[in-house]
Amino acid sequence: MPPSDHAGQAERRAYWTSQLEAAHAFMHQALDQSVADCGEPLRDLRTAAQDAGARIEFASTKHVRGLDRIFRLRSGLIDGFLAAGAEMNRRGWVMRVEDGFRTREMQKFLAREASVFDAILRSVIWELDGRLPSPEFLLRRSMALVALMPKVGTHMSGSAIDISVLQLADRREVDRGASYLEMSELTPMHSPFVTPAARENRQAISTIMRRHGFVDYPYEFWHYNGGDAYEAVILKTGKPARYGAIDWSASDDSVRPMDDPCQPLNDSGEIRIEIERALERMRR
Ligand SMILES: [Zn+2]
């Protein structure tokens, strides 16, 4: 590798490390954030979009364990969601919702999905310039990259969506420098390593989302959320968040605030087993 490329790689690695450490600190701030759940129900986004005649698309991929994705948000966020979708349409874009509400089962097994772990491990080995990480270090990075407790991530609060944006005319993806679930130095919202055009698109999408009640999460360019612990930390509201982690009952469509939102969904033994498995797959 020419010396200049090597310097470029070192710069990218240093940036990624600083962002992951910042994300780790952010998770702790979110865990400390006070929440007073307002008890609003979840509303189905597909139905809302259909009723409003809005052109919004939804990912057809399955969630972990073959589960159907749950495209739902709290009722208080629906108007903003529809308005953001409509504003994108007027600009010649279509929002595609990649993921919405997650149950305990979804979030628990997302953190243990082999493909997720392997992606984390690859990025950590790159970060360490080819060295294998200790299980402790891999666990630290996992916490920055996957919500390990219901209170963080806020998909379990019914207040977060992951989105891609497509061109209305031909459904080609609007360039954000990478696609949904990229795990690299391109992932932070303000990554200096994407092209100016991609940066502009990210900014334009965030401006639309902010106008309609969703803040952009600094460490993933696809994640937007509103009214929850993440929003309170990002906007420094100094007030309790109105949406906290909830258990949703599909049978009667009721929600109940969780008693244990800071409790890890996987115990450290379970996570350690997944780390050992990922290291094993990597050595093969
Ligand atoms: Zn997300």
Residue 202's CATH number:
3.30.1380.10
Q: Kindly give the distance from the C-alpha atom of residue 224 to the centroid of ligand 1, in angstroms, as a whole number.
A: 7
99-103, 112-116, 122-126, range with the lowest pLDDT: 112-116
Distance in angstroms (rounded) separating the CA atoms of residues 277 and 193: 32
Q: Kindly give the distance from the C-alpha atom of residue 98 to the centroid of ligand 1, in angstroms, as a whole number.
A: 9
Closest among 176, 206, 155 to 30, alpha carbons compared: 155
Q: Kindly give the distance from the C-alpha atom of residue 162 to the centroid of ligand 1, in angstroms, as a whole number.
A: 5
Number of structural domains the chain divides into: 1
Q: Given the structure tokens 């969904």, which residue do they identify?
A: 265
Residue 241 pLDDT > 80? yes
Residues having C-beta closer than 5 Å to ion ligand 1: 162, 223
Q: Kindly give the distance from the C-alpha atom of residue 161 to the centroid of ligand 1, in angstroms, as a whole number.
A: 6
**What average pLDDT score do residues 149-162 get?**
95
Task: Using the Cα atoms of residue 184, residue 213, residue 257 and residue 249 in order, give the sign of their dihedral.
Answer: negative
Q: Within 10 Å of residue 230's Cβ, how many Cβ atoms?
A: 29
Q: What is the pLDDT of residues 176-186, one digit of tens each?
A: 999 999 999 99
Amino acid at 8: G
Q: Supply the mean pLDDT for the chain.
A: 94
Residue 111 pLDDT > 70? yes
In whole angstroms, how far apart are CA 201 and each of 15, 207, 271? Answer: 21, 10, 36
Q: Within 10 Å of residue 21's Cβ, how many Cβ atoms?
A: 13
Q: Kindly give the distance from the C-alpha atom of residue 276 to the centroid of ligand 1, in angstroms, as a whole number.
A: 26
Q: Give the domain extent around 235.
A: 3-283
